[in-house]
Amino acid sequence: MEPNPGAHGEQGGREHDRKEEAWIREEAGQLGADEEDRERPAQGEDRDRELPQLGPAEADPRFRAVWIHVDRRRRILRIRAPHRCPHGACVFRIVLALPRPASSFGPPSPEVLHTLPSSARVALWRSMIDALEATAPVRPPSVLIPWPFERVRAGQADFLADARRALADGRHLLAHAPTGIGKTAVALVASLEVALRANKLVLFLTSRQSHHRIAIETVRRIEAKGPRIATVDLIAKQSMCLQENAPTFGRAFHEFCDLKVKSRTCTYFTRDNSAVVAAVLQRTLHVQELVRASGACRVCPHKVAMDAAARANLVVCDYNYVFSEILERFLPRLGRGLDDLILVVDEAHNLPDRIRAHLGGDLSVQDLLKAAKEARSIDGEVSHQLAAVAKAVERYLLVLRSERIARKDEFLDLVEDGLRKGRGGSLGYTDFVEMVAFAGEDAVRRGVPSSLPSVAEFLAQWRDRDEGILRLVLPGADGKFAFRLMDPSVLSKRVFGQVHASVLMSGTLFPAEMYADLLGIERARRVIRTYGSPFPRSNRLLLVHPFVTTTYAKRSAEMHGLIAGEITGIASGVRGNVAAF
C-alpha cells in the first residue's frame, strides 16, 4: 500500500495525486477520459444526463475510490466509482462548483482525502452531503408551474403567452392590464417557469404590504396544484426588527442596527437561525408569520429572511431592495448578480415616483435647530455649529421672495458663512458634515433616537449628488432647501440594463412608452402590450362630472370640498361597497 502522501511532504503528495489522476482516467471503466472531460465542467450536452449515484456504503466492495461531482446548474451530486485503487487508499475527490466562498470547503480546486476506514468514509460522506444541502439553493422543480385557478380568462391567456415569450427572450414586458384581470397570477406563473429552467431568481417587487399578501396567497395556490416553490416574503428591516426601541429611531434605524450587529450586542442576530431558515424554505409564509416564528426562536427575522432568500426561487419585497442603495448590500446576501434576476414590478406606474422620492431630500431651519438641541448632550461644539448654520439659513430664507431653483454652491456657501460667524471659525463644509455624522453615530451608540444622521445625510447628498438633480429653495419661516431627482433612469437604467428580464405591470401603465423612457429601458428589449378587460362592457358605466376638476391650477379647499360632496352623494346612492380612486 502506498503511504499517505500527507505524511511524506508536499512532493510526495503531488506525485500521489498524479498517479491517482492517471489511474482514474485509465481504470474508470465506462467513464473513459473523453467522457470524464465533458462531465467535469458540466458545460456540454451531457450535463443534464443523470449519472449513477453511489455512496461509499452502497458501492461495490471492489470500488475503493469514489468520484463526486457537484453540478452547478442542477444542484445535484454526480458520483462515479472506478474499479479499484492501486494505492490501497480510499480516495474522495470533490469538484466544488457551487457558488460559495472557498473557505466553506477549502480551495475550489479538487481535494483528495486519503486512507480512511469504512466508518470514517461513511461519516465523511454524510457530513459532506449535509453541508452541501444546508448551503445549496433549493433544487428547483422540473415541472411546469400550474395555473393557480380553475381556468385562464381570455385577457389572461394573451398576457401569459406574452410574458412567457418576453421573459424567455430576456426582454422587458410593459403590460397595461386592467384591474381585476389577474396580473399577479400571470406574472408569477410565467416568471417562475422561466426562472426555474434558467436557474434565475424571481423578485416580485411591490410598493404595498397588502400586495405582498396577494402574491403569497397566489404562490400557495400554485403549490396546492404543483411543486414546492421556495418563497421568502421580505419587508423593510425596521418593520421586521424585534428590538423594542427599533421604531423610535426613524431614519437612523440602519445606523442603530449596524452598531448592534458590529458590537455583537444583538442576541437575535448572533443566535443560530438554521432551524427557522429551514422552516421558511419548507413552507410559504407571510412575512408576519416569518416574524412570529423568528421571535419564538429568538432570532433576527430579517436575517432569517435574507439567509432563506439566498436559497429561494422567489422573493417578494419592496421596490427599495432593488431601486436604491440597498441593492449593493442585497445582491451579495443573495449570492446573485443582476443578470441572475427576473423582476416583476407590480403597480409599475408608481416606480418612477418612488425612485424620485427615495433619492430626494429636504432641510428646514426647524430640522437644524432640532439637531442642534439633540447634539447638546453629545458634542457641545457640534450643537453650536448647527445652531449657527440654522441662523444663517433662517436669515436667508426670510428675505427670499419666492420659490426658485437653487445653485449647489449657494447652500454650501451659506453653511460655511454660518460656521464663520459662529464658533466654526475656518471649519469647512466637508469637516462639518463629518462632525455631524460622528455625533449622529454617537447618539445611536447611546441608544438615543436622533435626527442627526438624517441631517448629515442631507448635507452629504446636497454636496455629492449631481446627475438628474433639481435643487430648490423655498422662502419664509417654514422655508427649506430641497433637492429632487428628476430623472429616475439615473438609477433604474443600470438595473433594467443588466437583469435577465422583467415584467412591469399596472392598470394605469399608459402610455407605456413614456414609462419605458422614464426608466431607461432600452428600445431593443421593450415589449409593450395593452390588454382588454375580461369583464362585460355592460358592467361598466362611465360618467364625467361637468363642475369639478382635479386640474392643478384649480385645486383649492373649495374644490376639494366639492369633490368630497360629490363622492358622498354617489356613495349614498349606490348599493354595496364603493371605492374612490
Give the Cβ contact number of residue 333 at 10 Å. 13
List helix spans (H) across 136-232. 154-168, 183-198, 209-225
Question: Which residues contact residue 88 at a Cβ distance below 8 angstroms, ignoring those fewer than 6 apart?
Answer: 1, 2, 64
CA dihedral 564→567→572→576, nearest 10 degrees, is -130
At 504, list the grid cell.
Answer: 412591469
Please tell me the distance from the alpha carbon of residue 61 to that of residue 382, in angstroms, as a whole number.
Answer: 77
Chain position carrying cell 461513511: 122
At 152, list the grid cell.
Answer: 385562464
At 450, list the grid cell.
Answer: 436622533
At 202, list the grid cell.
Answer: 424571481
Question: Which residues contact residue 364 at a Cβ distance below 8 angstroms, ignoring those fewer than 6 apart?
Answer: 478, 479, 480
Nearest one of 147, 126, 164, 155 to 224, comparing CA atoms: 147
469-474 vs 480-485, strand pairing mode = antiparallel
Annotate 486-500 with b (16+ C-beta within 10 A) or e (fewer): ebbbbbbeebbeebb
Burial grade of 445 (CB within 10 A; 0-12, 13-18, 19 or more): middle
Please tell me the distance from the alpha carbon of residue 236 to that of residue 347, in angstroms, as a whole number.
Answer: 18
Identify whether the C-beta of residue 195 lies closer than 8 Å to the C-beta of residue 138: no
Confidence at residue 537, expressed as pLDDT on a 0 to 100 scale? 82
Collapse the DSSP code of 133 into the 3-class scheme (helix H, G, I; strand E, B; otherwise coil) and give the result.
Answer: helix
Nearest one of 343, 296, 282 to 492, comparing CA atoms: 343
Please tell me the distance from the alpha carbon of residue 194 to that of residue 83, in angstroms, as a whole number.
Answer: 41
Alpha-carbon distance values, 383 to 393, 416, 545 (Å):
15, 15, 55
CA torsion through residues 521, 523, 524, 527, sign = positive
314-318 vs 201-206, strand pairing mode = parallel
Mean pLDDT by 10 residues, the chain (581 residues): 41 51 41 37 36 36 38 39 36 32 35 42 48 47 78 89 97 93 96 96 92 96 94 96 88 86 93 95 95 96 97 97 94 96 97 93 96 93 95 95 95 94 80 94 85 94 94 93 95 97 96 97 97 82 88 90 93 89 80
Please tell me the distance from the alpha carbon of residue 482 to that of residue 488, in angstroms, as a whole number.
Answer: 17
Q: Could you tell me which residues are beta bridge partners of residue 103?
A: none
Long-range contacts of 526-530 (CB under 8 A, 24+ apart): 526/171, 526/172, 526/174, 527/162, 527/165, 527/166, 527/171, 527/172, 527/173, 527/174, 528/173, 528/174, 529/158, 529/159, 529/162, 529/173, 529/174, 529/175, 529/176, 530/175, 530/176, 530/177
Task: Fill in the amino acid letter for 277.
Answer: V
Confidence at residue 353, expressed as pLDDT on a 0 to 100 scale? 94
Alpha-carbon distance values, 557 to 124, 211, 356, 562, 567 (Å):
75, 32, 27, 9, 15
Identify whether the C-beta of residue 96 lies closer than 8 Å to the C-beta of residue 108: yes
Identify whether the C-beta of residue 342 lies closer than 8 Å to the C-beta of residue 194: yes
- Which residue ranges form the domains of the chain, and what is each CATH number? 5-135 (no CATH), 361-485 (1.10.275.40), 537-573 (no CATH)
Annotate 245-282 with b (16+ C-beta within 10 A) or e (fewer): ebeebeebbebbbebbeeeeebebbeeebeebbebbbe
